[in-house]
Amino acid sequence: MRRNSLLCLLSIILIFHSAPLWGQEISALTTGQRLQHHFIKELDPEKMTIVFDEEPNENGYIRDMYMDIQGAIIGGVRIKSLSLRAMGVQLSPITTWGEEGPQVNYIMNIHAKGVICEDDINRNLLQKEFGDDDHWHNIQLDISPDGIYAKGYYLVRLLLKLDILIEIESRLKIVNQQQIWLDDYKVRVNRVDVPDFVTEKAVSQIQPLLDLSKFVFPLKLTSIAYDDTSITLSSAKEPEPFDGIIYRYEKESLNPIMCSAPERH
């Protein structure tokens, strides 16, 4: 029991101190806890559960793992939920894990499903200005079962400086299994005539709309589904949870890192 308390204390230190501990102290943690620490630091999730069929070995090999993540930040966008199952994962050897954490060398198979809400996309868009001299501002989108409606102001310099309202109706497509792009879109420009190359440049500056390649593991997304307020991204097969060694984390809990002992079911 004392050892479990020490492991939890060390995990908390690793998460909340800007300079992680590497050496004798971190060697007391299980490999699963060290990987948990890396995911928390990279994703800043609200909740996270990790399940291993067995602890990752010293060479960085994970035979089978499942993750259920809520409220993670990927590429600056909050992801409402993301679940994945990865099999045959080869990370860099544990002895090489420093402050940057492990490198992903190979994944035999990965299944994923994620839900992203329009409010979270809009929060990210409103904080950004896309482009250099000509750029977007106050851009936001609305998701419906029919696709995407986006509007925003585009500051362009032609003979004069113009701040034009652009509206876009679009579907989405997956590029490289990890990026979300506007596709088959229609563009309307209000109150002013501008050349087509201006609107094409404007659209190109917000592509990709979402970039999930910054996630720790390379996702293999194949489909997009729409509802009234969110999009759901899925791989060809949905991830299925399983019983195993379980590590839990909850950001808003009084004891955020629930690692007093890994659970085995």
Percent of the chain with pLDDT over 90: 54
Domain boundaries, the chain: 2-117+214-264, 119-211
Residue 237: pLDDT band by 50, 70, 90 thresholds?
very high
Which residues, at least 6 apart from 117, have a Cβ–Cβ distance to it below 8 Å? Answer: 78, 80, 229, 230
User: What pLDDT, on the 0 to 100 scale, is given for residue 74?
Assistant: 93
Per-residue pLDDT tens digits for 17-29: 444 443 335 556 7
User: What pLDDT, on the 0 to 100 scale, is given for residue 262?
Assistant: 53
What is the pTM (predicted TM-score) of this model?
0.83
